[in-house]
């Protein structure tokens, strides 16, 4: 850009200052948006967590009352457990599936482009459509999944979204299917960066395919895996849309997740203080997990 053109001689300080200005002016449009639409609300919600506010009347300071209410609220704990359940299912399954498909589709196969695209489709499909179609597939009486299960001799297939036991696995299944394409692309990019010589050398040494996967592919992909893990964890904990459309947290509260509690308490019931307190807890959980993952990554890099 024009900025890099040699300018008339100036003092070092002057140049640095004007460079800073130019730098700021470049990130300013984006940063302003971030500051106004994200940073300020986040800080405000930190304060709101200690207030009682219905979005209209004057906020009232209530100290830790919101958190106290949360600790004694059964629904909060149910939602927290369900969110953890979802994350524990969603993160490893998506990660393994994405890695598996990436390795598979990194080969020279006929129609590999087609399969790569096909696996990416769910990710760009409207989420509401995805959820509705999965609901139909998993319908207890008429759904093709259960018809198939009956055909292969399972007399009492699970009730999926209508059963408290199977609703969460059904949601996890749909979400893994949806997200795997995106993370597969990330892994594919990672795989391209592994030098071919490593595999050749290993082959010369007589390493089997399995050994090559564990000793070359997996370690070389560590930065990618780390990134995928972080992104997956964060997205798992803030899952909302899929659950909202597929089960609305039901049956009962069996798939109720924290972001739904935040939405219901805040937007629907107008208890923005309490809802902010819950979102603070969610924030702290995600932050802690991310920090722990960073530490772990740093240690294993040494």
Partner 1 sequence: MKRHLTTTLAATAALALLTACGGGGDSGSGQTADGKQILKVALWNYATTPEFKAIIEGFENANPDIDVEPVDILADDYSEKVTTMLAGGDSTDVLTMKNVIDYSRFGTRGQLVPLTDEAKKLDPAKQSGLDAYDLDGKYYALPYRQDFWVLYYNKTLLKQAGVAESKLQNLSWDGYATLAKSLTKGDGANKVYGAHQHTWRSVVQATAAAQAGGDLLGGDYGFFKDQYRMTLDLQQGGTLMPWATASSQKITYDTMFATGKAALMPMGTWYASRLLADTKSGKTKVEWGMAPLPQRATDGKVTTFGSPTAFAVNKNSKHTDAAKKFVEWAASEAGATAVAKAGVTPSLQTQAILDTYFALPGVPNDAVAKSAFKPGEVVLEMPVGDKSSDVDQILVEEHELIMTGEKSLDDGLAEMSKRVKNEVG
Q: Which spans of this chain sit near partner 1 (rule: CB under 8 A)?
A: 1-3, 5, 7, 18, 21-22, 25-26, 28-29, 32-33, 36, 54-57, 73-75, 132, 135-136, 138-142, 159-164, 249-253, 264, 267-270
In sequence order, what are the beta bridge partners of 51? Answer: 61
In the complex, what is the shortest distance from the CB of residue 244 to partner 1, in angstroms, rounded to a whole number? 12
Q: How far is the CB of 28 from partner 1 (least distance, A)?
A: 4
| Closest to partner 1 by CB, 195 or 270 | 270
Query: Around Cβ 212, how many Cβ atoms within 10 Å?
Result: 16
Q: Torsions phi, psi of 274, nearest 5?
A: -60, -45
CA 240 to CA 202: how far, in whole Å? Answer: 45
Identify the CA nearest to 224 among candidates 190, 180, 185. Answer: 190
Q: How far is the CB of 89 from partner 1 (least distance, A)?
A: 20
Closest CB 253 distance from partner 1, rounded Å: 5
Residue nearer to partner 1 on the CB measure, 21 or 214: 21
The smaller minimum CB distance to partner 1, of residues 269 and 288, is found at: 269
Minimum CB separation of residue 190 from partner 1 in Å reads 35
To partner 1, the closest distance from the beta carbon of 128 in angstroms equals 11
What separation in angstroms does the CA of 134 have from each of 130, 166, 170? 6, 14, 9
* Block residue for tokens 């999926």: 160
- Closest to partner 1 by CB, 74 vs 205, is 74
Which residue lies nearer to partner 1 by CB, 223 or 252? 252
* C-beta of 5 vs 151, nearer to partner 1: 5
């Amino acid at each position: 850009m024009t900025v890099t053109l040699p300018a008339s001689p100036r003092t070092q300080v002057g140049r640095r200052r004007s460079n800073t200005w130019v730098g700021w002016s470049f990130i300013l449009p984006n940063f302003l948006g971030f500051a106004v639409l994200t940073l300020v609300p986040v800080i405000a919600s930190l304060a709101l967590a200690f207030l009682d506010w219905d979005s209209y009347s004057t906020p009232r300071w209530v100290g830790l009352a919101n958190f106290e209410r949360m600790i004694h609220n059964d629904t909060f704990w149910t939602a927290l457990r369900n969110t953890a359940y979802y994350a524990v299912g969603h993160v490893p399954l998506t990660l393994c599936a994405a890695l598996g498909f990436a390795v598979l589709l990194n080969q020279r196969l006929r129609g590999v482009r087609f399969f790569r695209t096909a696996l990416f489709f769910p990710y760009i499909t409207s989420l509401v459509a995805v959820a509705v179609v999965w609901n139909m597939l998993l319908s207890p009486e008429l759904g093709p999944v259960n018809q198939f299960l009956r055909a292969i001799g399972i007399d009492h297939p699970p009730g999926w979204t209508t059963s408290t036991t199977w609703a969460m696995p059904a949601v996890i299944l749909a979400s893994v299917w949806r997200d795997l394409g995106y993370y597969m692309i990330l892994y594919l990019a990672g795989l391209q960066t592994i030098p071919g010589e490593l595999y050749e050398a290993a082959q010369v040494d007589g390493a089997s395919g399995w050994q090559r996967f564990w000793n070359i592919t997996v370690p070389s992909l560590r930065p990618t895996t780390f990134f995928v893990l972080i992104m997956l964890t964060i997205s798992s904990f803030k899952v909302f849309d899929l659950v909202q459309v597929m089960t609305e947290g039901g049956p009962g509260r069996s798939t109720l997740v924290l972001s739904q509690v935040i939405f219901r308490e805040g937007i629907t019931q107008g208890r923005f203080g309490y809802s902010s307190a819950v979102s603070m807890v969610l924030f702290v959980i995600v932050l802690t997990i991310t920090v722990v993952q960073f530490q772990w990554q740093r240690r294993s890099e040494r």
